[in-house]
Each structure stands twice: as C-alpha cells, then as structure tokens.
C-alpha cells in the first residue's frame, strides 16, 4: 500500500496510487509512505525518487554504514520501532529516505503514530513546511512512545520489587518473569541507542538543515534519548539486583530444607545405631529381661533429646 502526500496550494492532499507520480512534481511531494509494498509500487517510487529503495534484509543489517548513509540523491536511515506484544517486545524495521523535497518511509507493519500524523498533516499543513520537519515530528512521536514504554517498564520492575518485599511465593516462574523483563530491557536499550546513533549522524550530515530552530530541536531530541538510555540502564541494574535477591531467597529456602533433613538424620542416628545393635542375632545385654525394650526405647528418646539440646544450645537450629 502506498500513500502520497503532496501540496496543492495551501493544502496537502493524499493519493493512494503510484500512477499519480506522473502528474505531481518532486517539489510538491512531501511524504511517500509505503506499507508492505508491491513490486510495482516499489519500482514506481524508485523511478520517481531517482534512487534505490533498500530491501528488508538491508534495513535489518547492523553495520553503521547500513544504518545511516548518504549520497548525491539523498539520505538513507534505518531504525527499529518497538511494539509491546503481551509480556514481550517486538522490534520492526522502518526505513527512511530524505531527499531535497520528499520524505519516503518503508515499513512492514501498520503504525498508529503514522496514521495520526497523516491526519495531522492534512488538518494542519502549515506545520510541515518541508520533509525534514516531518521527519523530526515522526522521531519526536516515536521517542515519546519509547519514553512511555520505559515508564511502564519501570513500573513493572517496581511491582516485582514490592512482591519480593511482601514475601510472596518466590519460585522458578518468578525468576523467569524477571529474566523476561531483562530481555525486554536489552531490546528497549538497543532500540533507543539505534535512534541516538541515527540522529547523531544526522546532525553531522551535510544535508542537515542549517535552520537554528530545527538544529536546536534535533539536539533536544538527542538529549531526551540520552536521558532514556540512563533510565533504562538504571532499570536494568535494578533487575539484576532483583534477580540476585530472588536467587538468594531460593538458595536460603533450599538451605533450610537441607538443614531440616540433616537435623532429622542426626536426631535419629543414635536410635538407629541402638536399634541396629540390638537387631543382631547374637547374645546381647538385657535380652533376657521381658521389659528391656522399654529401657532401650527410653535410651533412644534420651539420646535424641540430648542431641536436640546440644544443637539448640550451639544455635544450629
């Protein structure tokens, strides 16, 4: 699906067909948004822009030269947009091409932030004088959404901390939940760092506008991303502390269980020894007395009590 936003007078109009490229000049096209493009849509866009659109494999490459590059035709940038999916996070690539007049976006998933921005463009066309302003608006909205995700993530971490302090049932499932939070934290951090790298490269680019207001807005956006990274790092360190705490609690519980079994074994050891001794099929002391078993039983009880008293006195119980 393709959406072409172009100027006509003071309005910004929308076309949903690549055939409109033949009737619109490059100077009037503000934004070309391509969602899961067909081969025909992709070829028509490439012909209109005069440059090649990257494939899905190219947008997912991690080399710096693949994440951000520029040539005489335009500026090419790739980043990831996060989407919460239940307890996990999905990260989907979005590709940007900035030419002199037009912003082109390529994506494989619908994004609500893009839909809202497209309505805003048509309602308030005066707010988007050029494609660079539009690009900054997309990145600002995305960073705001990432900040909301980080905030919710921090709240989830606090809830797990409270559960530990309230001595809830700490088990393997609880530990796996914390591990999943750590995985999400690493994904969020990688996603935000990728945007920081993109915008930092953009500031250094010769295609970056010299307008002081736009540059100031771009620098503020980079600072916001830096604060997000610091917040994520703190949350990740907190999760590591929670994980260590949970492991410590589990180890303490296991040690208590082992201690109980050890004490029980030691308490019945004297009785076991005496029972084994008198279980031998040989002549033994007191075996001719009919009530000797009462004395032997009493001896077992006394020895068990004596062992218990010694352990208690030495604070081993």
Domain end call among 200, 231, 251:
251
Residues 243 and 263 grouped into a single domain: no
For 137-161, letters b (16+ CB in 10 Å) and e give bbbebbbebbbebbeebbebbeebe
Identify the CATH number of the domain in which residue 276 sits.
Answer: 1.20.58
> What is the arithmetic mean of pLDDT over 89-97?
84
Mean pLDDT of the chain: 81
Of the listed ranges 90-104, 119-133, 294-308, the one predicted with least confidence: 294-308
Of the listed ranges 19-28, 62-71, 235-244, the one predicted with least confidence: 62-71
Condensed to tens digits (0 to 9), the pLDDT of residues 188-198 reads: 888 888 888 88
Residues 220 and 294 grouped into a single domain: no
28 φ, ψ (degrees, to nearest 5) = -100, -10
pLDDT at 265: 79
Domain end call among 251, 267, 290:
251
Residues 258 and 212 grouped into a single domain: no
How confident is residue 150, by pLDDT bands cut at 50, 70 and 90? confident
Residues 147 and 283 grouped into a single domain: no
Residues 100 and 166 grouped into a single domain: yes
How confident is residue 283, by pLDDT bands cut at 50, 70 and 90? low
Residues 50 and 40 grouped into a single domain: yes
Measure Cα distances from 168 to 65, 200, 244, 254 in Å.
49, 45, 16, 16
pLDDT of residue 133 exceeding 60: yes
User: What percent of the chain is predicted at pLDDT more than 90?
Assistant: 0
Q: At a CB cut-off of 8 Å and minimum separation 6, what does 307 contact?
A: 266, 267, 269, 270
The answer to whether 142 touches 81, Cβ cutoff 8 Å, is: yes
Residues 245 and 293 grouped into a single domain: no
How confident is residue 65, by pLDDT bands cut at 50, 70 and 90? low
Q: Which tokens sit at 10?
A: 């003071």
Report the chain's terminal Cα–Cα distance, integer Å: 72
Residues 304 and 226 grouped into a single domain: no
Residues 276 and 142 grouped into a single domain: no
Annotate 180-242 with DSSP letters as a single string: HHHHHHHHHHHHHHHHHHHHHHHHHSTTS---HHHHHHHHHHHHHHHHHHHHHHHHHHHHHHH
Condensed to tens digits (0 to 9), the pLDDT of residues 12-59 reads: 888 888 888 888 888 888 989 988 888 888 888 888 888 877 766 666
> What is the arithmetic mean of pLDDT over 282-288?
64
Name the DSSP class of 63. Answer: S
> What is the arithmetic mean of pLDDT over 158-162?
82
Domain end call among 200, 221, 251:
251
pLDDT at 27: 87
Domain count of the fold of the chain: 2
- Walk across the sheet containing 11-15 and list its strands: 11-15, 2-8, 29-35, 103-107, 88-98, 75-85, 68-70
By DSSP bridging, strand 103-107 and strand 29-35 are parallel
Residues 67 and 202 grouped into a single domain: yes
Residues 67 and 207 grouped into a single domain: yes
Identify the CATH number of the domain in which residue 12 sits.
Answer: 3.30.460.20
By DSSP bridging, strand 29-35 and strand 88-98 are unpaired
What's the domain range around 185?
Answer: 2-251
Residues 200 and 298 grouped into a single domain: no
Condensed to tens digits (0 to 9), the pLDDT of residues 227-236 reads: 888 988 888 8
The answer to whether 187 touches 91, Cβ cutoff 8 Å, is: yes
83 φ, ψ (degrees, to nearest 5) = -140, 120
């Amino acid at each position: 699906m393709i959406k072409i936003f172009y100027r006509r007078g003071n309005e910004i109009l929308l076309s949903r067909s690549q055939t409109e490229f033949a009737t619109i000049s490059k100077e009037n096209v503000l934004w070309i948004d391509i969602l899961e493009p067909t081969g025909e849509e992709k070829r028509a866009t490439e012909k209109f822009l005069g440059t090649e659109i990257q494939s899905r494999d190219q947008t997912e490459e991690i080399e710096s030269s693949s994440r951000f590059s520029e040539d005489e035709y335009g500026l090419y940038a790739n980043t990831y947009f996060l989407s919460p999916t239940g307890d996990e996070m999905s990260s989907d690539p979005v590709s940007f091409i900035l030419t002199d007049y037009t912003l082109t976006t390529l994506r494989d998933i619908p994004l609500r932030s893009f839909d809202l921005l497209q309505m805003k463009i048509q309602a308030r066309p005066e707010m988007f004088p050029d494609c660079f302003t539009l690009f900054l608006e997309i990145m600002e909205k995305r960073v705001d959404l990432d900040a909301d995700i980080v905030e919710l993530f921090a709240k989830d971490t606090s809830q797990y901390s409270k559960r530990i302090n309230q001595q809830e049932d700490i088990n393997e499932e609880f530990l796996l939940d914390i591990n999943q939070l750590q995985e999400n934290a690493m994904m969020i951090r990688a996603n935000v760092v990728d945007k920081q790298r993109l915008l930092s490269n953009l500031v250094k680019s010769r295609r970056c506008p010299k307008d002081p207001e736009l540059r100031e807005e771009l620098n503020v956006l980079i600072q916001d991303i830096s604060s997000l990274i610091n917040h994520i790092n703190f949350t990740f360190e907190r999760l590591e502390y929670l994980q260590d705490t949970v492991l410590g609690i589990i180890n303490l519980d296991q040690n208590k269980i082992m201690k109980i079994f050890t004490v029980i074994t030691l308490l019945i050891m004297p009785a076991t020894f005496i029972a084994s001794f008198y279980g031998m099929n040989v002549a033994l002391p007191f075996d001719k007395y009919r009530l000797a078993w009462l004395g032997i039983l009493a001896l077992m009880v006394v020895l068990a009590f004596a062992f218990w008293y010694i352990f208690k006195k030495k604070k081993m119980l």
